[in-house]
């Protein structure tokens, strides 16, 4: 074998070695990428089921959406449980303000309007807001009003 053939053969082996090494590196990087993606997905799914603040995907018996409200024949009284400042800026037309902070001073106005032919729908800022649930429970327990529902929809959709 001549010197140039040996050099060529050695260069070819080095090239093959480098090619295999690069290919293996790309395969390892691809594996790591997919491992990270799968791990992130598993963590996200676990967080969804473990997190106590996750959204409730099913409606409870005392919850309604605007779509459900459109099928009701009874008169509806909307109660906005946000504070007076937010209520005064914007609210559902003809809604009454009945906030936790001012409940005792605002309840009379509601009771003057309410009768057994009404359905009461309570809402607040967002789906995760809990003051609408507290007010609804208080109306049911303290005033024995049965048809009290919590709006599980964006209240601003009513205007749209």
| Region for 94 from its dihedrals, namely left if φ exceeds 0, alpha if ψ lies in -120 to 50, beta otherwise | left
Calculate mean pLDDT across residues 17-42: 90
CA–CA separation, 91 and 155 (whole Å): 8
Top pLDDT among 120 and 130 is at: 120
Query: Is the Cβ–Cβ distance between 22 and 28 less than 8 Å?
Result: no
Q: From residue 22, how far is each of 13, 26, 153, 157 by CA, in Å? A: 14, 6, 54, 56
The CATH code of the domain at 63-159 is: 3.40.250.10
Residue in the block written with tokens 């074998």: 1
3-class DSSP assignment, residue 29: helix
Mean per-residue pLDDT for 76-85?
A: 94
User: What are the pLDDT digits (tens) for 138-155?
Assistant: 999 999 999 999 998 778
Q: Structural domain boundaries of the chain?
A: 1-54, 63-159
In percent, how much of the chain has pLDDT > 70?
88
Mean pLDDT across the chain: 86
The residue whose two tokens read 């791990």 is: 39
Residue 160 — pLDDT band, cuts 50, 70, 90? very low
């Amino acid at each position: 074998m001549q010197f140039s053939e040996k050099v060529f053969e050695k260069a070819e082996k080095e090239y093959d070695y480098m090619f295999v090494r690069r290919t293996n590196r790309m395969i390892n990087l691809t594996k790591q990428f997919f491992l990270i993606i799968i791990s992130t997905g598993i963590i996200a799914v676990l967080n969804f089921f473990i997190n106590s603040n996750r959204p409730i995907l099913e409606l409870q018996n005392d919850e309604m959406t605007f779509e459900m409200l459109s099928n009701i024949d009874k008169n509806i009284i909307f109660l906005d449980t946000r504070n007076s400042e937010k209520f005064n800026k914007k609210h559902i037309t003809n809604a009454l303000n009945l906030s936790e902070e001012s409940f005792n001073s605002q309840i009379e106005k509601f009771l003057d309007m309410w009768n057994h032919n009404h359905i009461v729908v309570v809402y607040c800022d967002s789906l995760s807001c809990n003051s609408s649930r507290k007010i609804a429970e208080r109306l049911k327990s303290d005033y024995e009003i049965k048809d009290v529902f919590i709006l599980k929809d964006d209240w601003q959709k009513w205007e749209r």
